[in-house]
Structure 1
Amino acid sequence: MKGMMDAVIKTKAAPKSMEFTSVPIPEITPDQVLVRVKASGICGTDHSLYHWNEAIANSYKLQFPSIFGHEFAGVIAEAGSQVQGITVGERVTVNPIIYCGQCSYCAEGIINICDNRPFLGTDYNGGFAQYVAVRAENIVKLPDSVSFKSGALMEPLCVAVHAVDRVKPQFGETAVVVGPGAIGLLMLLVLKNMGVGKVIVTGSGADKERLATAEQLGADYTINIDEKDPVAAIKDLTGGRGADVIFDAAGHHSVVQQAVQMVAKHGKIAVTGLPAKASELMMTQISMREISIVGNRAYERKTWFQAAKMIAGGLNVEPIGTHTLPLKEWEKGMELLDQRKGLRIILEP
């Protein structure tokens, strides 16, 4: 398909330096499909790269001009000559990890920690555009009942599902989610959906609106850490025992240190956030109280099918997509995130 398309491009390695413009529609290789993007979410990574947070930017090998956006859904506009089982017009979302399929980790199915894993929206052009070229095996078909908005929210939902799956909380246990952003609130939805006992969400004074959203989404308790000591509050809510599972969805170096104080013996701390600084831990406590610290990165291939089934089965993730804007108003979306307003901003090319 030849012609031009609308896109938001990052022009250079500097703060902001992004613009709405017209670029050629990408040409596909025989093993690729062309996706006509219908909805694309602005992730925290996109926001950080827009402001050129160097701790984040240095994690990627960006080439300019670059098109961000790795949370998107749309329809198949064109299929390469070698592509089978995918037809023009089908509704899809996309796993943005371009895993190699050759390393020992891919052989085990854990493509999230593949030795060579370029990423759509950073290493390759992504979803802040009308069209994206995608390797066919990264396509995930959307059930008819799943909207494009929900399809764009499947990537962050997969992050939440994978983190919960890694620590496997048991029925009736108490879980704490630290950080009421999009990933944290999706963890809340997954935990409530699977039947854990109590789910407690903590956040700062700046998160008041998000904590209110957490209550609307089913949190049993919310704690504003600027108003009360979260360690004392969680001990109080658990009869002095502490929480069985704690999820770090905040990405601040103090979270795991705090989690060690509020987790129960034999409890688990799941780390999904990416702090810029190191955390200091007294390892004696980890050992004496048999605490497990579990790192979680992205998702596996199976996670996408789990997430699709959950949404098709009635899990409503749409409240996480708090604002929907046309692609040309992308800058307004970044400003909303600057002001900590909204969770996921959905752009419609």
Structure 2
Amino acid sequence: MLTARTVAKETIRYEEVAEPVPEPGRALVRVHNVTLCGTDLHIWEDDYPTDLPIVQGHEFSGVIEAIGGNAAGLRAGDRVAVSPVSYCGTCRPCQLGRHNVCHNIGCIGCYSDGALVELLSVPADKLSRVPEGLALDLAAMGEPASIAMQAVNRGRPSAGETALVLGSGPIGLLATLYLTDLGVTVISADTEAERLELARTFGAAETLLVDPAASFPDAVQAARLDELTDGYGPILVIEASGVPSSLENAIRLVASAGRIVQVGISARVATLSMKAIPFKELDLMGSRNSLDLIPDGLALLARHQDQARSLVTHRFGFENLQQAYELMRNRTGKVGKILIEMPAAQAAARGASAREAIPAGALA
């Protein structure tokens, strides 16, 4: 079978390797779709705490080809999404029920070989069946949907509250979608007007365009924020951009006794006042991975398939991975989720096209 291995900085090599064989407690998944995120870009650029070479791909979906032993009702032929994260179960975070930040955490495609391969062996307990009616390509985004939901859950939202989501990339948009489902009024802020237009389709009641060269909010936006929050500020802020100034804005704008969830990741340094957090008595929380929320993420995507599909801005065949990563790096246009169509998905599409070309009644 064919695999794509990142062997050095910005260098992918396609290799023929032996197919895996069934093992007890594991399933062989024929990979159909992989979506890329910022972590994938950092790994490709050799700017991530993992060792090259590695097979990337941690957001993916496919079809079970074989299972070694019993697997909780799953069987060959089932469409599945895969949780890439593994944890030890014995360290202090795991004992606290926070295995999403396990001291010995592992992740398929980030710390061990991942899904940019035709057939992958994965632990059977990491499989989630794709809901009926949810397209397999959209199911590849079950993992980022779970990350957005984890961030929202960390913020302890309640129906009727007003939340500010800073950043309308895929995670910010999915957080907006989930918050809206929960009955929260969402204000979305971003530096790109096009993303804010998309945020409205994900449920944002109000959008604020951020000028990176000016203070945020401006006088008009500040008045609108006061109007929407009765002068107190949003009780919940989800920071999903990873921009240092955005966290600074979150602390400044959130209501007293409010909650801030930092889910955007960056190695850059934010400058924070040592006064604002205690004076407002804020809850400032981080969010990473998810607590086994991929089934919930798939359900969210299934409920909102039009919005989910709008996240995918580019599709590349497996043979064109280099171009996909170069597009992510160069950012020459609007880039949302990039979807990689693996050979199995390409074959399925060709089969569907061939069936559509057969005249009606020819198969009778």
* Fold match (TM-score > 0.5): yes
Q: How much does 1:288 deviate?
A: 1.3
Q: What SS does structure 2 have at the residue aligned with 1:265?
A: coil
Partner of 1:258: 249
Q: Which amino acid is 1:8 matched to? A: A
Partner of 1:335: 326
1:47 counterpart = 2:41: yes
Q: Supply the distance in 1 between the matched residues of 2:254 and 2:221 (Cα, whole angstroms).
A: 9
Partner of 1:180: 168
1:347 counterpart = 2:340: yes
Q: Which amino acid is 1:343 matched to? A: G
Q: What SS does structure 1 have at the residue aligned with 2:75?
A: coil
Q: What SS does structure 2 have at the residue aligned with 1:283?
A: coil
Q: What SS does structure 2 have at the residue aligned with 1:226?
A: coil
1:230 aligned residue (216, 219, 222):
216
Q: Supply the distance in 1 between the matched residues of 2:122 and 2:295 (Cα, whole angstroms).
A: 18
1:235–1:262 contact (8 Å) kept in structure 2: no
Alignment CA distance shift 1:129-1:336 (3 Å): same
1:253–1:276 contact (8 Å) kept in structure 2: no
1:239-250 residue pairs with structure 2 within 5 A? 239=226, 240-250=231-241
Partner of 1:159: 147
1:43–1:69 contact (8 Å) kept in structure 2: no
Q: Supply the distance in 2 between the matched residues of 1:48 and 1:31 (Cα, whole angstroms).
A: 32
1:247-286 residue pairs with structure 2 within 5 A? 247-286=238-277
Q: How much does 1:343 deviate?
A: 0.9
Q: Which amino acid is 1:246 matched to? A: V
Deviation per residue, 1:119-144 (Å, 9 max, x gap): 10022211122221111111111122
Q: How much does 1:298 deviate?
A: 0.8
Q: Supply the distance in 2 between the matched residues of 1:63 and 1:261 (Cα, whole angstroms).
A: 41
1:234–1:242 contact (8 Å) kept in structure 2: no
Q: TM-score, normalised by structure 1?
A: 0.88
1:35 aligned residue (29, 36, 44):
29
1:290 counterpart = 2:284: no
Q: How much does 1:314 deviate?
A: 4.5
Q: TM-score, normalised by structure 2?
A: 0.85
1:93-132 residue pairs with structure 2 within 5 A? 93-132=81-120
Please list every run of 5 or more consecutive structure 2 residues that lacks an aligned counterpart in the other structure.
Answer: 343-364
- Alignment coverage as a number of residue pairs: 333
Deviation per residue, 1:98-128 (Å, 9 max, x gap): 1123334334432201121111002221112
Q: Supply the distance in 1 between the matched residues of 2:165 and 2:13 (Cα, whole angstroms).
A: 36
Q: How much does 1:324 deviate?
A: 2.4
Q: Which amino acid is 2:275 matched to? A: T
Q: Supply the distance in 2 between the matched residues of 1:295 and 1:99 (Cα, whole angstroms).
A: 19
Q: What SS does structure 2 have at the residue aligned with 1:307?
A: helix
Alignment CA distance shift 1:289-1:151 (3 Å): same
Q: Percent identity?
A: 30
Q: Which amino acid is 1:50 matched to? A: W
Q: Supply the distance in 2 between the matched residues of 1:242 and 1:209 (Cα, whole angstroms).
A: 25
Deviation per residue, 1:280-326 (Å, 9 max, x gap): 2222221111211111111002x223223333445642221222222
Deviation per residue, 1:135-187 (Å, 9 max, x gap): 11111111222221221011000000011011122222221111121111111
2:188–2:199 contact (8 Å) kept in structure 1: yes
1:252–1:276 contact (8 Å) kept in structure 2: no
Alignment CA distance shift 1:261-1:84 (3 Å): closer
1:75 aligned residue (50, 63, 68):
63
Please list every run of 5 or more consecutive structure 1 residues that lacks an aligned counterpart in the other structure.
Answer: none
Q: How much does 1:258 deviate?
A: 1.5
Q: Supply the distance in 1 between the matched residues of 2:168 and 2:108 (Cα, whole angstroms).
A: 26
Q: Supply the distance in 1 between the matched residues of 2:77 and 2:67 (Cα, whole angstroms).
A: 10
Q: Which of the pair has more CA radius of gyration?
A: 2
RMSD, aligned α-carbons? 2.1
